[in-house]
Structures are given as structure tokens and as C-alpha cells.
Amino acid sequence: MPSSRIVRDWIDSDSTTPLSQDSERFTVVSYNILGDRNASHHKDLYTNVSFPYLKWGYRKRLICEELIRLNPDIICMQEVDKYFDLFRMMEKAGYAGSYKRRTGDNIDGCAMFWKADRFRVLERENIEFSQFGMCDNVAQLAVLELRKSKSRKILLGNIHVLYNPNKGDVKLGQIRSLCSKAHLLSNKWGDIPIVLGGDFNSTPQSPLYSFLATSELNIMEHDKKELSGQKNCRPTQALETGSKPSNTITFKSSSWTNEEIRVATGQENSYWAVHPLKLNSSYASVMGSANDTRDSVGEPLATSYHSKFLGTVDYLWYSDGLVPARVLDTFPIDVLCKTRGLPCKELGSDHLALVSEFFFEPNG
């Protein structure tokens, strides 16, 4: 039976905002759990992982044990291809859930879980990006209401952005579309605050991260194959030297076709991609003194680690009306490197779970 002995520390916010009562605080997890099929079909990514630690039965117990120990109110999962296995275990722990499978021939998708005694679902919406010519990825949106404080609602979003680093136009289009649809649904319910969790398949130093944080991006300043920054995160250097992943990305111009411009910006004749949200990252907002686990913008140095990647692609974004109270810190690079690759005996995925506790702004 698996057991997790790797300890992660909570980091408290130094915010001067008065804390709300416990009934109006909630914890959110975002977790790419590594689909069973992906673990089987991409063995070149897990050359240093002992076979028993890749098996779904072992990893499932480890992932559920970790989540139940964390006891979050809301969970956003990506790369879920055994939803009903997870649902049976999470239901016993008091969670309700929903699932959206990717389109096409894919068998994995996104899943949300929430504590049934704390939240009720008022509305749900699934996004199939294939309807917009943006590959087979999907996203989920849900309006959740606190049962004990019905004036408190949140709009929850969950996404697994396309991996392919060469298709920056599609990755940008997916993120832009999610933000636009989240904005519309938030407006419908009275401009309620937003939390977006997911695997965004883009690094903190990338133009895609900048787009999320600043709400705009001039695509003509960038090579579409470099929008995500993923190509700069191979683990070789860190494994050899114990150093941090590179924070430097070199941009070069590239030609964009009219169709790529339309997908990226949503318009035929505009080089600017924009979204209507004002977002902050919970981890970048709650840094504490953890300089051995954070990069230059305050994000974790790594949320994912396998034979061909060591870096950060997972985030919890939030809007006005919410304040992060604390986050569960990740690991220093040297600690991660000692595992020689994830998953491992103690960790059930090649990604780390991101965990943030939020509270509603007192006058929000």
C-alpha cells in the first residue's frame, strides 16, 4: 500500500486585509493526476520510474489519500481517464463531482469535485474547443454557492490547455476563450469572483503567462512556437547541477497565417489578443520567504517533473473579490531531483497538486 512521507509546508499570506469568518473560507486544489493511458503510452517520459509506481491502482490510492488528507473544499483535476474510479472514492469522502471528456478519440478529460455539504451548483457549462477549431481539449465552468452563506458565490473554471508547444495560436485561443466565457458567466450571476485552476501548459516566463496576468498580448512580437516557454524546461541542466530552471526565453519573430491570427485573437484583422478578466496567481501572491522553491515572479520553480520536463505549468488564478490566505508550498529543485522523476513511491502523478485557501474580501 502506498504512503506519502514527503512533507509540504503551508505559507501564510502577509495580507493586511481582515480575515473573514471560517464559514466564508474555502480551499481549492488544482491537480493534473497523469492519465492512466498517458502513463502507459509515453513510457519515454518515465524511464527512471519503477514500474509499480506507474500502475493506476497504486497511483489512484496515493492520489485519493493525498486529497482526502488535504481535505479541500473544491478540486480541479486534469488528465482524468478513470473518473468513476475516482468518483467512488471521493463520494465516500463527501464530494460530488462532474466530468467532461475530451473530444475526438481521447479518453481523458477534466473533472471537478466539491464538498456536497458546503456548496451547491447553480449552473455548469462545458467548453469543447474543437467547436472553435482549437483541437480536442475541453474546459469546465461551474457557479458554486456556499450553502451557509447564500450571498457568497464563486465561478470555478478548470482547464487542460493543449500541450503541443508548436501550436501557440491554439493554446492562446483556448485560454482567451476560457477567460471570455468565465467573464460572461460571472456577469450573469452578479459579477461573482472567479477561480481558474488547471494545467495551462505554459511557464511563468512565457508570453501566455503574461497574457493571463496582464489581459493582453501582441502576438506579432512573438514566435507562435515559443509562446508557452515549454521548450526551455528540459531537466538535464537541473539534474546535473541542481540549478533552477532557466528563466530566460529568447523570442524571435515568425509568420502568422490569417487562420492562426483568428484562432489566437478571435478576430480576423487584429494582432492583439485580449481577455476581460483581472487575474492574479495565488502562488505568486503568497510567497513568504520561500526563495528555494520560487522563481523570479514568485511562482513555484517546478510543478511537473519527468524525463523531458522540469518546470511550472499549473496555476490557480483568482479575480477581485477573493484574497488568498495561504498556499501549500512546492519543493526545492534538489528535493524533486532526488526522486529522479515523478511519479514516485510517495507521489502519484508527474505533477504536484497546487493548493490555495481563499477568503472573500469583507466587502466583496
Q: Are 169 and 143 in contact (CB under 8 A)?
A: no
Q: Residue ranges of the alpha helices (H) in the chain?
A: 36-41, 51-54, 56-70, 83-92, 168-188, 207-214, 236-241, 258-265, 282-285, 333-338
Give per-residue pLDDT as tens, 294-308.
999 999 999 999 999
- Using pLDDT thresholds of 50, 70 and 90, give the confidence band for residue 344: very high
Give per-residue pLDDT as tens, 27-70.
999 999 999 999 999 999 999 999 999 999 999 999 999 999 99
pTM of the shown model: 0.95
Q: Tell me which of 203 and 14 has the higher pLDDT.
A: 203
- Using pLDDT thresholds of 50, 70 and 90, give the confidence band for residue 22: confident
Average pLDDT over residues 95-124: 98
Q: Tell me which of 2 and 273 has the higher pLDDT.
A: 273
The predicted pLDDT at position 288 comes to: 80
Integer CA distances (angstroms), 85 to 61, 64, 128, in order: 10, 10, 24
Alpha-carbon gap, residue 182 to 211, rounded angstroms: 16
pLDDT at 237 over 70: no
Cα pseudo-dihedral 18, 19, 21, 25, rounded to 10 = 140
Helix axes 207-214, 168-188, angle to 10 degrees: 20
pLDDT at 242 over 80: no
Average pLDDT over residues 333-362: 96
Q: Are 227 and 168 in contact (CB under 8 A)?
A: yes
